Structure 1
């Protein structure tokens, strides 16, 4: 059965191009011309994935994402002309799963969509991820160390889920940046180090043993 994709974009030229391409790829595609219409369509028929523009009149993409993330884990791919690091971090912190900067090749959009759908399908088949004394509940997006409950921002959750999906493996900095912040995330930035610090602070708040270790010259690994 083909996946249902909802495009929320006020630019008819862009949305038509995406709809035609995705329909040719075999997806069931619907289009909403603004944020309000998009939210209504989600309520009427929840899609498997949303392609969401940020810059829209009325309810913009960031607000749409915030509202959806209150009670939905639908994968969201943001598409926008805003390409600064701050813009990308804001979009991902709002709850987007990936971020693609306009102009883009349709082939890259299609590849991102396939990757998000695969990841969503994999996570939906599991109820939780477990490593050592750390449990990550995929429904509530909360973690537990013993009886202690830990809440995360969207990016923190995505980063921890990536580590817990690849226990004991050395994950390179480039790979993590690609998976969490997007394939075309370029330039010098300490954003990964900052978020690893956030995770360690929360996971070790009561003196628990470190689980996310730095592998010098390589990246990071989830190890006891």
Structure 2
């Protein structure tokens, strides 16, 4: 279920938004100030935040900045003001959208759905699927069915590069350049070690792909068709 965080010091707004979002199938988390909101975010995964501007302890602009620094979720600011300067401050803080009070709950729902679709599409750009294997460059996770695998950074980057370019042969020099950079001071044995580790990790988990040695040249990733 999609979790929506609502942050507003007005209990009537919280109840109204909670009612409409719950009826639309969302799970709503409520906070009455920025401190409480950040505490909730640390404890629960939220997919979107709706944040009021005028709140005690921490205003909505500050909270938006805090959320943007720590979490990659869409944010809608709620405000009683409709001045261009206020909107500008909101977008500078990092909000994705802006809604002026009083507002129609249906309009908030439309905006939430639109933002969630946009963020889902962006996340898809970071994913590569190969059979049951999904490699996600946004979270740096590899998923095989229900199994989630976290790899050391260079192993992940090497696997992502291979899966992005299946059935292409790369020399060890090319792999060093793409993964470690031109200023890397190590030698080609680094590639051999990382390929060996990837093979050991995945050969029992999936047959979606295999990293093959091309004798005298380098490596390629053979994808199951």
TM-score normalised according to structure 1 size:
0.56
**How far apart, CA to CA, are the structure 2 residues paired with 1:24 and 1:71?**
29
Please state how far the C-alpha of 1:83 moved relative to its aligned partner: 0.9
Q: For each residue in 1:37-95, what CA deviation from the matched residue of structure 2 results, as whole angstroms up to 9, or x when unmatched? A: 00100111120000100100111111111111113211001111011011001101101
Q: Which residue of 1 aligns with 2:107?
A: 108
Q: Which residue of 2 aligns with 1:63?
A: 62
Q: For each residue in 1:108-153, what CA deviation from the matched residue of structure 2 results, as whole angstroms up to 9, or x when unmatched? A: 010000000000111011139xxxxxxxxx96xxxxxxxxxxxxxx
**How far apart, CA to CA, are the structure 1 residues paired with 2:124 and 2:104?**
31
Q: Which residue of 2 aligns with 1:42?
A: 41
Match status 1:8 vs 2:28: no
Secondary structure of the corresponding residue to residue 98 of structure 2? strand
Q: Which residue of 2 aligns with 1:75?
A: 74
**How far apart, CA to CA, are the structure 1 residues paired with 2:67 and 2:49?**
10
**How far apart, CA to CA, are the structure 2 residues paired with 1:3 and 1:36?**
22
Q: Which residue of 2 aligns with 1:178?
A: none
**How far apart, CA to CA, are the structure 2 residues paired with 1:6 and 1:76?**
9
Please state how far the C-alpha of 1:22 moved relative to its aligned partner: 0.3
Q: Which residue of 1 aligns with 2:121?
A: 122
**How far apart, CA to CA, are the structure 1 residues paired with 2:49 and 2:69?**
15
Q: For each residue in 1:1-33, what CA deviation from the matched residue of structure 2 results, as whole angstroms up to 9, or x when unmatched? A: x31101011000011100011000000111001
**How far apart, CA to CA, are the structure 2 residues paired with 1:89 and 1:5?**
24
Secondary structure of the corresponding residue to residue 99 of structure 2? strand
Structure 1 consecutive aligned stretches of length 4 or more whose deviation exceeds 2 Å:
none
**How far apart, CA to CA, are the structure 2 residues paired with 1:106 and 1:120?**
21
Secondary structure of the corresponding residue to residue 70 of structure 2? coil
Q: Which residue of 2 aligns with 1:28?
A: 27
**How far apart, CA to CA, are the structure 2 residues paired with 1:72 and 1:41?**
12
Q: Which residue of 2 aligns with 1:199?
A: none
Secondary structure of the corresponding residue to residue 46 of structure 2? coil
TM-score normalised according to structure 2 size:
0.55
**How far apart, CA to CA, are the structure 2 residues paired with 1:6 and 1:115?**
16
Q: CA RMSD in A?
A: 1.7
Aligned residue pairs total: 130
Q: Which residue of 2 aligns with 1:99?
A: 98
Structure 2: any 5+ residue segments left out of the alignment?
128-136, 139-225
Secondary structure of the corresponding residue to residue 70 of structure 1? helix
Secondary structure of the corresponding residue to residue 57 of structure 1? coil
**How far apart, CA to CA, are the structure 1 residues paired with 2:72 and 2:80?**
24
